[in-house]
Structure formats: C-alpha cells, structure tokens
Amino acid sequence: MTSSLDNRIRAIEQRVASAHGLTITEHRVPQRDPRVRVLSVGSGSPLIYLNGITAPALGFAPLLAELPGYRHILVEFPGHGLAPAPQWTGPSLREFAVATLTGTLDALGLPKATVIANSLGGLCTLWTALDAPDRISRAVLIGAPATALPGARPVPAMVSLTTSFRGRLEQALMGLPSPRFLAEAALTEALGEQAVAAMSDDLVDLHRLPLRRPGQAAAYRSLLRRLLDGRAPRPENSLTPTE
C-alpha cells in the first residue's frame, strides 16, 4: 500500500522535474531482489546516475536539464528515496554494491555503461570498475567518492549517528516531522553553503522526507555503521594503493 508520505514525495519529484523541464518515468527493474528504484529522463545514449548517501535520484535534476540528447537513468540505491530499505547485513558492502550495479545493468539490458556518480555512488562505481571492469565504459565522479580515497573523513553528523546511545536517539528523531531549516543545516555541513543556497525547497524536501519512511532512518544508520569505524572509514571500504 502506498502511504501518504510516499505520495507526497512523488508529487515533489514531479514538481522538481517540471521546474527543470524534465519528464520522468519510473521503471520496475526485474531483479531477483528489487532493492533499487529506477527513474529515466529523455532518450538517446544511456547515462547511469548513482546518488550519494541519503540523496534522492532527482538531486541530479539541475544537471540533467543541461544535458539534452541522452537517456538519463537515475538509480536510487536501497534505503534511498522511495527504494526499499534494507538493514545492510550479509555480504560486504563492496560485494553488495558490485552485485547491485551489475544486476541493474543486466535488468536494463546494458552490457556496459557510462556512470555519473556522487559520493556513495562514486565509491560503488569505483568498486565495480575494479571488480567488473567490462561493465563500466567511463566514470564521471562528482565530489569525493565517499570512503574510497585515503584521508577521507566523514562529517561529524555521520559519526554521531554511528554511536550507540546518541545514534539510536538521532535515528528515532529522524522519523518525526521537523522544520526544513534543520535539514538545510545538515546539508550545509555535507555539501557546503553555496550548494544548499541554490537548492529549491522541493529539492531539500527530497533529501529529508524519505528518512521519515518506515525503516529508512534505521537503514541509513546501519549503512553508516558498515562504512565507518568512529571518525575513519573501515579499512575494507577504502581502495588499496595498488587499486
């Protein structure tokens, strides 16, 4: 059953798309475990987009509006936007990421693809380029690729969420209604003041509202605990010097 919150998020997506002159189509991806959500815009040569952590697929909308003549395929990772929320247990994040991206390409009938990715999406793209190099023809990384590079450090809010007591409290608060300015403050810490100042209220809402969906905040915290060890990335989530 579709909740009123999901309907609200979809309505905001349509407004964001319309504001940038885009028409979006949502696709059912026939994976064995349909944990991703796929939207597409336009037609032409395909470009795959992978979002950053907690970021919505349509966070790329301002960029898509500047790149006509392509089929833009926006992939929302599990636990992001309106994609189902897992608890990030089981195989390593690297195995999960590579299987998810290659499985999505299989479902879309793409033997290989150009990938445009931000943050967590950039990390997953690099892992796939290393472990399944025949599937990635080109990669464009926007911003730091999460924990991939030596010296990467998470923002304090992410570190706080991984702690035992405070992290559980913050997870619970994420599921409650809150004013938009709190989300803007958190986004400013992660993205910078200029980027957030350029965002419409609708784009900010696409970042904050999905965390109120059942299981979404728990999935976000679970993912962070798999990525980080205190203030540093877990070693298995960073590329080696050889890589």
pLDDT at res. 191: 86
134-151 residue pLDDT tens = 999 999 999 899 999 988
Mean pLDDT check: name the lowest of 106-115, 150-159, 200-209: 150-159
Q: For the residues of the chain, what is the DSSP string, one character each?
A: ---HHHHHHHHHHHHHHHHTT--EEEE----SS---EEEEES-SEEEEEE--TT--GGGGHHHHTT-TTEEEEEEEPTTSTTS------SS-HHHHHHHHHHHHHHHTT-SSEEEEEETHHHHHHHHHHHHSGGGEEEEEEES--TT-STT----HHHHHHHSSHHHHHHHHHHTS---HHHHHHHHHHHH-HHHHHTS-HHHHHHHHGGGGSTTHHHHHHHHHHHHEETTEE-GGGS--S--
Question: What pLDDT is recorded for position 90?
Answer: 77
- Rounded to the nearest integer, the mean pLDDT of the chain is 92
Q: State the average pLDDT over residues 43-49.
A: 95
